[in-house]
Structure 1
Amino acid sequence: MGKLRISLIASVILNLFLAGALVAGVISLRSGARMINAGSLRIAGAELPVAERRPFRIALRQTRRAMRPAFLEARAARREAARLLRQPTIDQAAAVVALDRARAADMAVRAAVERRAVAYAATLPPADRAKLADAMQRRADKARPATD
């Protein structure tokens, strides 16, 4: 009887966890919360014809891989800023410099991906470029302004 009781309790706990995950997913979908804008070009590329969609995503992925050192620099700079903020006495100038480095590296990655997307789009027929542009415009129109 002991093993049966433990199995029953474990089953109830698992089912409660799964029900909670399901409810959270439904709430998330209904809240209208959007993904962050990272990857907006890749998402906009979903509007391209199937034959162009995969090569477009591959081109963006290759660019992100090539920019991995900049991505790692941004991560290291954010870690450095966090370390500085944990110090008993904050060196504000050093924390700002670290965050500036992170932002510059993030922008370098974004710029490289955007340049590659434009170069790829230039190879597309006008109708496909228009689809990509329309998808980008819709995402830009849906973006919420920052509010604090």
Structure 2
Amino acid sequence: MSGRAWKFLLVGSLVLNVFLIGGVAGGAYQWFVAHGGAAAAAQAQPRALRFAAAGLSVERQQQFVDALKTARREAREYARDGREDRREVLRLLAAPQLDRAALEVALNRTREADIALRSRVEQSVADFAATLSPDERVKFAEGLRERGNWRLPQAQQPVNRPASD
């Protein structure tokens, strides 16, 4: 091989290696953004209702989780009805001819099932709160404000100001 062929081969190999290294680095960056950053942000402050009791003792937290599980287990029928009714709504929407009356009935059944499920869960929250001391209720209310279904948008959250004398 001549010197010129070696140079061409060397430059081609260098370009290929730079391309491969860039692809691996770009792929690693994309993976980190999609998985690493999102997981860290999600772990920073969980938003599910079961975490509303995070400011309470471990025993109270477990009591709250157990109460939620019981309420959801008792309301399982409502959840199933809501899912079935949503499937019916989708089926009616996809039909060649829109049957508005049937759609309204299915939407009302879905809404009623969702309201019954939510009522059962909210009742269990109220029942749990009734077992707490006043100080625990304050912590629990703060947890609900930050993590539960009652959380407020950041702009609407009250500002804690020191009392002025």
TM-score (norm 1): 0.71
**Which of 1 and 2 has greater Rg?**
2
Name the amino acid aligned to 1:110.
R
CA deviation profile, 1:8-29 (whole Å, cap 9, x unmatched): xxxx99xx4x764431242686
Residue 141 of structure 2 corresponds to residue 141 of structure 1:
no
Secondary structure of the structure 1 residue equivalent to 2:111: helix
Which among 27, 33, 53 is matched to residue 23 of structure 1? 33
Question: What does residue 13 of structure 2 align with?
Answer: none
Question: What does residue 102 of structure 2 align with?
Answer: 94
CA deviation profile, 1:89-110 (whole Å, cap 9, x unmatched): 1112211221221121111111
Question: What does residue 59 of structure 1 align with?
Answer: 67
Structure 1 gap segments, 5+ residues each: 1-11
Following superposition, the deviation at residue 144 of structure 1 comes to: 8.9
Q: Assess, with a 3 A threshold, how the Cα gap between structure 1 residues 107 and 88 changes in structure 2: closer, same or farther.
A: same
Secondary structure of the structure 1 residue equivalent to 2:54: helix
Q: Assess, with a 3 A threshold, how the Cα gap between structure 1 residues 27 and 73 changes in structure 2: closer, same or farther.
A: same
Identity of aligned residues (%): 35
Aligned-CA RMSD value? 3.0
Count of matched residue positions in the alignment of Structure 1 and Structure 2: 126
Q: Distance in 1 between matches of 2:154 and 2:101?
A: 32
Counting only pairs closer than 5 Å after superposition, residues 32-111 of structure 1 correspond to structure 2 as: 39-40=48-49, 42-111=50-119
Following superposition, the deviation at residue 143 of structure 1 comes to: 7.0
